[in-house]
Amino acid sequence: MEIKPALAEQARQLAQVEASQPFAAGWGENGFEGEIGLPCSVLLAAQEGSSVLGFICLRYAADTAEIVNLAVRADCLRRGIGRQLLQQVVLRAQQLGVREITLEVNEHNSAAICLYEQAGFKTLNRRKNFYVGADALLMGKTV
């Protein structure tokens, strides 16, 4: 498995991975096409051969950044792919001069919360009813 910057021709596969996961952002193919190549965006894909197994996207401005989308294909979970994507995007953010990374996560999304906590993210705040029927946890990490 390799983790590399996503390419425009992978937009459809990225959208398929996203659609396999209910807690992902819901950008769809057009959203990924628009994201790829945007300045201030880092979109990494985990790949095996020509298959996309997962992705992570971070947007940054000066020394702050936000993880805005992350998913691993439903049939590839618990293989360490999410952890490696997160590690790689944090490294990339550090190289870009980012000092703080934040994200919002559904309070019921225990898989993602465990992943982020394992990577050293802490809950900074709670946004009441940010999602339909659920709060968002604002999590962050100094890098």
Ligand X SMILES: CC(C)(COP(=O)(O)OP(=O)(O)OC[C@H]1O[C@@H](n2cnc3c(N)ncnc32)[C@H](O)[C@@H]1OP(=O)(O)O)[C@@H](O)C(=O)NCCC(=O)NCCS
Spatial separation of the C-alpha atoms in residues 124 and 26, rounded to whole Å: 25
**Nearer residue to ligand X within complex by CB, 11 or 112:** 112
Residue with Cβ nearer ligand X (39 or 92): 92
The structure tokens listed for 87 are: 């590690």
In the complex with ligand X, the residue whose CB is nearer, 89 or 105, is: 105
Interface contacts to ligand X, rule CB under 6 A: 21, 23-24, 70-72, 77-83, 103, 105, 109-112, 114-115, 118
Separation of alpha carbons 60 and 41, rounded Å = 6
Q: Which residue is nearest to ligand X (CB)?
A: 82
C-alpha distances (whole Å) from 33 to each of 25, 41, 137 are 14, 12, 28
**Residue 103 Cβ vs ligand X, minimum distance, rounded to whole Å:** 6
